[in-house]
Structure 1
Amino acid sequence: MTSTYPAARALRPGAADPVPGGPVPGGPDTPDTPDTPLEYHLDAREAAELRAVAARFADTQPAPDQPEFYDGDHAAEELLPAGLRAFLLSYRRTESTAACLVHGFPVDDARLGPTPGHWREAIGGRAARAQELWLAMCGLALGDPFGWVTLQEGRIIQNILPIRGDERRQSGYGSESLLEFHTEDGFHPNRCDYLLLFGLRNRDRVPTVVSSVRDVRLSDHDRTVLAEERFHILPDTEHIRQLEASAPRHPALPRLYAMTDRPVPSAVLFGDRLNPYLRIDRPFMRVGPGDTEAAAALDRLMDELRRVQREIAVGPGSLLIVDNYRAVHGRRAFTPRYDGTDRWLKKLTVSRNLRRNLSGYALEHPRVIV
């Protein structure tokens, strides 16, 4: 391996890109941005190990995008290369950085075929089965993968790609508008601990933007305000839109409508005052009527997150892992071609405590929640 655990190398904003799909220069390399993502580079031997595991699981059913796959007795995560597994376990246990990267997963662009025009076209496809398996294995090393009944028909592994007609939407299917900083599914109490984005194709090197709450500079007053339950985060429209279109009588919809109409106030910063966690989704947030103090503190936090942002182009064979409690993420705008060569990522959300999902948020399978 080019860089191994525990000597995994950190990304420096402005550093040269070590491998295709690695980091893009993001911001000034200053002491104000010390929370630098770690990298792990798979070597040829480890890549061969992963290919062998993929061959072993090639015909396994259910597939990794199905919740039942994760209930099997295969212990797939134990088949990860030893160095990579140690790297992931250390990342989970230490919370050392708000994001990390793994490079070098095999991806055959020709075998993938064209980027689908819609996530529905990718359902049941086998072209990226190996990559989905490796993504699932990494997710299992970090915790328990899960999905949403409201998104992509409850698939655990989802497809992120531009969709014609959604160019301006604040979602993974948008393109021509900036996808603003957000905590993944920030409206939900059982949002993921880790967001995993696996690159299949990114010829235009469209950057994912990541900012760590550890890097922001806030006054004591703003920290106090942001730690108070004065903020409302509404469900993002994608959760509601997909379910209304596919199952307008689904019992999950009334719950989503209630979260929209009667959101529970929450804090933006929580946990340790000097080393807090973060929960934010600016396009879907509001404060109470006339609460200009909370609105101003939120605006200053957003300014700080933009100041310390890092750009990472997740290319073929690279995996970006974002700590959903330590970092927010977004995506730069780009112009889609819809010719089969557009950006295509696989997404997985992981919980450190699947038991949370049993408290009234799972209607059928505990790995598929609302």
Structure 2
Amino acid sequence: MIRYVDIAPADRPALDILTRSVLRDYGSSTDAALLNELPMLAHRLPAWLVRELLEFRTRETASALVVRGLAVDDNRLGPTPLGWNEPSRHPEAGVHEVFLVLASAHLGELFGWSTLQDGRLVHDVLPIPSHENDQSGHGTVELAWHTEDGFHPYRCDYLMLLGLRNHDSVPTVVAGIEDVRLTPRQREVLSGPRFLIRPDTEHLKQARALAERTGDGLAMLRMQESPEPCAVLFGHPEQPYLRIDPAFMSPLPDDREAAEVLDFLMRELQRNLVEVPLGAGDLLIVDNYRAVHGRSAFKARFDGTDRWLKKAIVTRDLRKSRTDRRAPEERVLR
């Protein structure tokens, strides 16, 4: 189930003042001082929005939440960059990043990967020339639905996508495990360590480069070479959590039953996909334990008007990844 809530027009001026003042005071949406004070600053969001985020987190009432109506001025935003490492031509995008970061504080802790966008905590999701066929946020072919970073034990609890520009209404697609009907035997099969999930190509490209320079990518390369068998379903048997990435996973060799049940689950998730075309100012939060997400194919123009989202990932427990972080306060997994 996807829950939709709307920012009232009366709340927009105060939100605009808040995000601009935070950006002015700290200089960046991911400044270290801002992140340290984030729990206090985040309570300056409207009380109704804080309640919605906390309800989504604690009661698991929906597999995805869409907050619509943040004011985004397309003219002030500047053109869609041609790459994630291309500086935005206007600081307006940073204002909206602040909203994303403030909202994240009511879900958990922001974090990132050294193998993605140089370890940045807020990513740009946009088409990049020559990457059209990639299975990533930079491609234009259909992005197969998946659990975000499903291969990794420290994958996020929540994926956040904030629309800045989407003139073509390209939909993100979402499906929740609660909409899938399984037999007891199917649940049993999917709950056993009978499946392998490997890192996706976007992680691996940078992991190889990092391994050569610093050794940081070695753990991820080992996951590619020797993935540990894992379950697809886990948690409560009647309300299970989900871990799946069809493009990068397989059942254990010669496990025909696991292959058949996995295929059934994939067909059911495909059948239950819901399109969510994120407009400018729409925030989609996906419960990464309860839903999969992907994206429909589209045609990029590379003229400054293409689809542009901001992305962040959130964990409810940053401490569990301490072995992969250089310091307790470090938010980048290596």
TM-score w.r.t. the length of structure 2 is 0.95
Alpha carbons 1:67, 1:368 under 8 Å: kept: no
Give the aligned partner of residue 233 of structure 1: 197
Of residues 63, 68, 74 in structure 2, which corresponds to 1:109? Answer: 74
Alpha carbons 2:29, 2:101 under 8 Å: kept: yes
Of residues 53, 74, 90 in structure 2, which corresponds to 1:88? Answer: 53
RMSD, aligned CA? 1.7
Q: CA deviation at 1:178?
A: 1.4
Separation (CA, whole Å) in 2 of partners of 1:342 and 1:361: 35
Secondary structure class of the residue paired with 2:66: strand
Give the aligned partner of residue 221 of structure 1: 185
Separation (CA, whole Å) in 1 of partners of 2:157 and 2:33: 21
Q: CA deviation at 1:307?
A: 0.9
Task: Read off the aligned partner of 2:198 and give its amino acid letter.
Answer: L
Cα 1:258–1:246 shift into 2, 3 Å: closer
Q: Please give the per-residue CA displacement for 1:165-186, whole angstroms capped at 9, x wherever unaligned.
A: 11111111111x2111110011
Alpha carbons 1:186, 1:233 under 8 Å: kept: yes
Separation (CA, whole Å) in 2 of partners of 1:259 and 1:298: 21
Of residues 311, 330, 334 in structure 2, which corresponds to 1:366? Answer: 330
Of residues 269, 280, 297 in structure 1, which corresponds to 2:261? Answer: 297
Cα 1:73–1:170 shift into 2, 3 Å: closer
Secondary structure class of the residue paired with 2:224: helix
Alpha carbons 1:67, 1:156 under 8 Å: kept: no
| 1:50 and 2:15 are equivalent in the alignment | yes
Cα 1:62–1:129 shift into 2, 3 Å: same
Q: Please give the per-residue CA displacement for 1:246-303, whole angstroms capped at 9, x wherever unaligned.
A: 7741322111111111111110000111110000011110222211211111111000
Alpha carbons 1:67, 1:155 under 8 Å: kept: no
Alpha carbons 2:210, 2:216 under 8 Å: kept: no
Separation (CA, whole Å) in 1 of partners of 2:67 and 2:38: 26
Identity of aligned residues (%): 45
Give the aligned partner of residue 167 of structure 2: 203
Cα 1:286–1:56 shift into 2, 3 Å: same
Of residues 298, 301, 312 in structure 1, which corresponds to 2:276? Answer: 312
Equivalence map 1:155-304=2 (5 Å): 155-175=120-140, 177-245=141-209, 248-304=212-268
Task: Read off the aligned partner of 1:362 and give its amino acid letter.
Answer: R
Of residues 304, 307, 312 in structure 2, which corresponds to 1:348? Answer: 312
Q: Please give the per-residue CA displacement for 1:311-340, whole angstroms capped at 9, x wherever unaligned.
A: 000110000010000000010111111111
Separation (CA, whole Å) in 2 of partners of 1:307 and 1:74: 39
Task: Read off the aligned partner of 2:242 and give its amino acid letter.
Answer: L
Aligned residues: 333
TM-score w.r.t. the length of structure 1 is 0.86
Q: Bigger shift: 226-235 or 246-255?
A: 246-255
Give the aligned partner of residue 130 of structure 1: 95
Separation (CA, whole Å) in 2 of partners of 1:221 and 1:187: 24
Secondary structure class of the residue paired with 1:119: coil
Separation (CA, whole Å) in 2 of partners of 1:73 and 1:86: 17
Give the aligned partner of residue 23 of structure 1: none
Q: Please give the per-residue CA displacement for 1:105-127, whole angstroms capped at 9, x wherever unaligned.
A: 11010111110000010479622
Secondary structure class of the residue paired with 2:85: helix
Alpha carbons 1:202, 1:314 under 8 Å: kept: yes
Alpha carbons 2:23, 2:29 under 8 Å: kept: no
Alpha carbons 2:210, 2:217 under 8 Å: kept: no
Q: Please give the per-residue CA displacement for 1:7-42, whole angstroms capped at 9, x wherever unaligned.
A: xxxxxxxxxxxxxxxxxxxxxxxxxxxx2x111111
